[in-house]
Amino acid sequence: MTESATSKASAAFCADLVRTHDFTRYASTLFLPAAQRRALLSVYAFNVEISRVREQVSQPLPGEMRLQWWTDMLDGAGHGGVEGNPVAAELLQTIGEFRLPVAPLSRLIEEHQFDLYNDPMPSMAALEGYLTDTSAALFSLGARIAAPPSPAIDHLSRHAGLAQGIAQVVGALPLDAARRQLFLPLQLLQQHGSGVEQVYSGKQTPNIRAAIDQLVAEARNHLRTAFELLAHVPPEVRPVFLPLALVYRDLKRMSRADADPFVPHATSRLRVLWTLWRASRTKEFGG
């Protein structure tokens, strides 16, 4: 296989990986130019690889080893077939072409070490730190692919990442509770008279609902700020933030009085595409 053919195969692999495991982010890249889309998909594919490690191991140690492989790869000390890993190959190309900083990618790996253990998220501050280095970092890196970095874009990325990340934490509650993992801040639960075992029971109580309502309210505040900040960034970077249209819809659903956070909710791919397309034509995202 020629170098060009190998490169195309790596790009196709990344696109398929993101399409399969993170359809919202995949669909959002459809609204970007081809070169930027390919680069963004390499970052999102990297995120899929890191965030899925928990699902692929039964014990923390093998997960730590997988994460260390990616850390070594970013440090230039990779081993064990870096050249043959399509996601690594695409990511390294993107880092070089768009001069992406490696530090946020390394911090994303470090934060996902938390996923390997069943320790509860201790506080709101800890959750915000986790989401800043995961969800917000992805927005920031994506924005760097679309436009030069700026304090305004970084500010937007942080609020966007916190809104999206909190929505994902609440949305993943049924799965996390079933495997006895807690991303809801323990301190917040305790403030509302609840705790770990009540969440793991998988049944909604007034106390749990009060804690989740407060968390959703925090997310809506971040989302409101993000939408306000969108007007102050270059038009070419705004499509990177299209997933916020889905965050808005999810938070609105989660705020309803009849919404049970322990009942899984799935959105069809067609609905995702329709929501993103409609958002892309609005003044917030269309420039």
pLDDT in tens, 168-204: 999 999 999 999 999 999 999 999 999 999 999 999 9
Q: Are 230 and 154 found together in one domain?
A: yes
- Cα separation, 88 vs 13, in Å, equals 11
Residue 80 has pLDDT above 60, yes or no: no
Q: Is residue 110 part of a domain?
A: no
pTM, to two decimals? 0.95
Report H helices in the chain.
Answer: 3-21, 23-29, 34-51, 53-56, 60-74, 86-98, 103-111, 124-132, 135-146, 151-171, 173-178, 186-191, 196-200, 206-230, 243-254, 269-280, 283-286
- Domain CATH code at residue 190: 1.10.600.10
Domain count of the chain? 2
Residue 256 lies in a domain: yes
User: Tens of pLDDT along 138-161?
Assistant: 999 999 999 999 999 999 999 999
Q: Is 28 exposed, middle or buried (0-12, 13-18, 19+ CB in 10 A)?
A: buried
pLDDT tier for residue 7 given thresholds of 50, 70 and 90: confident
In a domain, 108, yes or no: no
- The whole-number pLDDT of residue 5 equals 65
Q: Which domain holds residue 66?
A: 1-100
* pLDDT recorded at residue 20: 97
In a domain, 236, yes or no: yes
Residues 42 and 162 in one domain: no
Q: Supply the pLDDT for residue 148.
A: 95
Residue 186: both structure tokens together: 């323990």
| pLDDT for position 279 | 96
Q: Which residue has the higher pLDDT, 195 or 7?
A: 195
Closest C-alpha to 71, from 45, 50, 43: 50
